Structure 1
């Protein structure tokens, strides 16, 4: 009589099924020899068929090695993952890798991964949440590292001014679906509260594109992630910086709300909020109008002919 699949293995397979469906092209890569990769793929396909047919999940006679894979964080960085036999009862083994990161930055990111894993709840799958956290961490720190490098070159010229960096963030969120009227209401209300502009598209998949001050956008993403989703991921995140000089007659000073004039998704709308679009074509047209069509197309893996 075949052995039933343990809850631990079931959780692993469910999480991996979502991850492989969420990330396309080369964003998700298995790390193993040809035989291991084929076995991992076959295992997940069998699990999906059993789920669809509502059959009891059973263990195969063949021993399945621990899953190893990596997920693309940006064009040059990866989150590498190994799932031990008892995951999610115990922590996964994860580390950051990049061909262009220096040793100091590599250490910084891996320490953040270690801290995040220590804070996770035992028994809960965490790879996607970790991916989201590290992706945002990279974006935030890379921008500020660049700002610090640039600022050091100009310190002598700015001794009489107080320079403030205004950071604007723009994100595209993909969800498995967006049907709930309550979620759609939250998407709009939270955007107004946090002074965020953008668009959304309900249906399969759900799309949310938002822009505003960096901290506000990160709070917005955090609130959305805390809702119940089958799957949700930030497919694209961009940031821009603007400098605000105070008490310096030689520089143009930005007023409190002047940064809003630089928001591309604002598109002439005075009041913040998310405008709901009917379909992909309508969103693509709006993004093209504000010069962000490529962000939309690349995030959705649409290749324009």
Structure 2
């Protein structure tokens, strides 16, 4: 059924959002209520009384935004998407680029980018999920966040280097849109061993990397991670920490769920570093 496929794709989009990214319906109140009910029932595997819904169900329109960009995306699924999208251009989702203070040239460049990436994901099982979460949202973070943040992080790291001895202990937290590549996972394990770093990686969606060790080794570890290709990689912090009485700083672990990350950071007495950034909120559980 088209409705089931649409709900499954909406669920994938919702569950793949990182902290600072949001999903909302862009519909009249009654239509938003209908789709919210459908999606909630689909997410929780509870039955929905279809007889109480209008026939046909109104077309869904939704927005995906980030807190660090002026631009956001609005998507509308046609009634028979994705069933007829391969043969009927009228059933291809409509994607608009919106935002305040966008110049004509900027809008043109984004529309061209959307068209280019739309062609790349054509034929995928969930093309709008692929387009939004693998291309458009990471591009927003790159344009609206990463450049400034990278410069700020370099300044912070330099300040810390100037006032602390080289033997100081450090820890670092990084997040990415996802961490699924076996090559990257093996590299993280190898670097942790070579640099005597402890910590963990949360694989899947989103990716979370936490590491602790000496200042010099942590900085080299972070530089190694940043040198690889990532979607929406964010260095949350690189800062000093007291490991003198820390009995947990040994070994490298992998986790599959965000909840496991929260529990591990609680065990280390450092859960505030996770929860204050929105990692581990109910939206990601």
Per the normalisation by structure 2, the TM-score is 0.56
Residue 35 (structure 1) shift: 1.4
For 1:83, the equivalent position in structure 2 comes to 77
Contact 2:59 2:77 in 1 (8 A): yes
Superposition CA RMSD, Å? 4.9
Residue 194 (structure 1) shift: 8.8
Residue 187 (structure 1) shift: 5.7
For 1:171, the equivalent position in structure 2 comes to 175
Say which of 26, 37, 40 aligns to 2:35. 40
Residue 97 (structure 1) shift: 1.9
CA distance in 2, matches of 1:78, 1:59: 33
Residue 131 (structure 1) shift: 1.8
CA distance in 2, matches of 1:215, 1:109: 26
Aligned residue for 1:208, secondary structure, equals strand
Correspondence 1:298 to 2:278: yes
Say which of 48, 54, 58 aligns to 1:65. 58
Q: What do the CA deviations read for 1:225-263 (whole angstroms, capped 9, x no partner)? A: xxxxxxxxx6xx4369xxxxxxxxxxxxxxxxxxxxx96
Say which of 220, 228, 234 aligns to 1:216. 228
For 1:191, the equivalent position in structure 2 comes to 188
Say which of 7, 12, 19 aligns to 1:13. 7
For 1:74, the equivalent position in structure 2 comes to 67
Aligned residue for 2:64, secondary structure, equals strand
What is the count of residue pairs matched by the alignment?
Answer: 222
Contact 1:284 1:293 in 2 (8 A): no
Correspondence 1:116 to 2:117: yes
CA distance in 2, matches of 1:201, 1:131: 22
CA distance in 2, matches of 1:62, 1:72: 30
Aligned residue for 1:80, secondary structure, equals strand
Cα gap change, 1:170 to 1:100, in 2 (>3 Å): farther
Residue 33 (structure 1) shift: 0.7
Unaligned runs of 5+ in 2: 86-91, 150-172, 211-221, 244-250
Cα gap change, 1:295 to 1:114, in 2 (>3 Å): farther
Per the normalisation by structure 1, the TM-score is 0.53
Cα gap change, 1:22 to 1:191, in 2 (>3 Å): same
Residue 107 (structure 1) shift: 2.2
Q: What do the CA deviations read for 1:183-233 (whole angstroms, capped 9, x no partner)? A: 797663043579998732479x98522754545141xx5xxxxxxxxxxxx
CA distance in 2, matches of 1:191, 1:96: 36
Aligned residue for 2:65, secondary structure, equals strand
Contact 1:82 1:94 in 2 (8 A): yes
Aligned residue for 1:127, secondary structure, equals helix
Cα gap change, 1:185 to 1:21, in 2 (>3 Å): closer
Aligned residue for 1:70, secondary structure, equals strand
CA distance in 1, matches of 2:148, 2:181: 36
Contact 2:75 2:95 in 1 (8 A): yes
Residue 116 (structure 1) shift: 0.9
Residue 98 (structure 1) shift: 2.3
Say which of 114, 134, 138 aligns to 1:136. 138
